[in-house]
């Protein structure tokens, strides 16, 4: 198995529909030992059954905005594993009001919060856990097309994802001498708990399906398998990259259109 003997930490599994779950499951199926985190006490009851499913892995409490919890996590990993081989960072947040209206309406406190949780947390996790990573380890975070391009209703999260992808490149250089790789996956739209806060998300799903080369949306299992590759030694020559898993939607330069019975141009999913 590709990940046999590897030990890793997955931060951000919310439930069994989350992308982080798909990644953890794919790594476990290839032999990796998985540890998970939960944000707070009420969420522990969601995460522990998933940890049990994934081989009775360790579960730790972690709020990425609290340095003391990051330090406690580092200590726990040292005690339980010694060192680990990969980290999955699946953490992002913006207040719902920041995803409504226009980006121009973004409040300073919402901007700061979104950047802190969605971007700086990757830096903080990497800073704190760098010493418990084996040389040759892999770090992976999750991005979205709303970073490099405009996506309706994504607003401040798009700016945060752009900063996250830039952080991936800079961290890749900082850690390159230890042969530690840092990459991002940019997944297509998927029905997850996090996505529920984005306005007209059903429309975004339809649009992606209609306009991607493969005429479909991706699943957490497809994203999980691609992530497993980036976390494994199969991708030992890959770092600083943003890898798209979106059925090819990101390559498109023009929307797919059709003609209705009156000869009017319509978007291809309007008549479905």
Residues 6+ apart with CB under 8 A from 156: 94, 98, 99, 103, 106, 110, 111, 114
Q: What is the DSSP letter of 117?
A: I
The H or E element spanning position 63 is: none
Task: Count other Cβ atoms within 10 Å, centred on residue 166.
Answer: 13
How much is the CA Rg of the chain, to the nearest whole Å? 19
Tell me the H-state helices in 54-154. 67-80, 108-115, 121-129
In the annotation, is 170 catalytic?
Answer: no
What does the chain come to in residues? Answer: 272
Selecting among 21, 38, 120, 144, the annotated active-site residue is 144
Selecting among 21, 38, 154, 249, the annotated active-site residue is 154
In the annotation, is 21 catalytic?
Answer: no
- The number of angstroms, rounded, from the C-alpha of 115 to the middle of its chain's C-alpha atoms is 15
**Active centre residues (catalytic):** 144, 154
């Amino acid at each position: 198995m590709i990940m046999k003997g590897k030990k890793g930490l997955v931060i951000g599994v919310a439930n069994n529909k989350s992308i982080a779950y798909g990644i953890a499951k794919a790594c476990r199926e290839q032999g990796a030992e998985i540890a998970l985190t939960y944000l707070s006490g009420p969420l522990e009851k969601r995460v522990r059954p998933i940890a049990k499913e994934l081989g009775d892995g360790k579960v730790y409490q972690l709020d990425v905005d609290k340095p003391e919890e990051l330090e406690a996590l580092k200590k726990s990993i040292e005690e339980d594993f010694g060192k680990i081989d990969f980290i999955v960072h699946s953490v992002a947040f913006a207040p719902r009001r920041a995803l409504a209206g226009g980006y121009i309406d973004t409040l300073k406190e919402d901007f700061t919060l979104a950047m802190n949780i969605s971007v700086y947390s990757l830096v903080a996790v990497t800073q704190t856990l760098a010493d418990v990573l084996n040389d040759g380890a892999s770090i992976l975070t999750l991005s979205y097309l709303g970073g490099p391009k405009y996506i309706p209703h994504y607003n401040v999260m798009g700016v945060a994802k752009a900063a996250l992808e830039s952080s991936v490149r800079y961290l890749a250089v900082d850690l390159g001498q230890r042969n530690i790789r840092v990459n991002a996956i940019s997944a297509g739209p998927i029905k997850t708990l996090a996505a529920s806060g984005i306005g007209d998300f059903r429309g975004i799903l339809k649009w992606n399906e209609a306009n991607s080369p493969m005429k479909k949306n991706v699943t957490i299992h497809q994203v999980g398998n691609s992530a497993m590759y980036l976390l494994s030694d199969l991708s030992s020559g890959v770092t600083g990259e943003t890898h798209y898993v979106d059925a090819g939607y990101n390559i498109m330069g023009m929307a797919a259109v059709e003609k209705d019975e009156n000869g009017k141009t319509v978007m291809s999913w309007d008549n479905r």
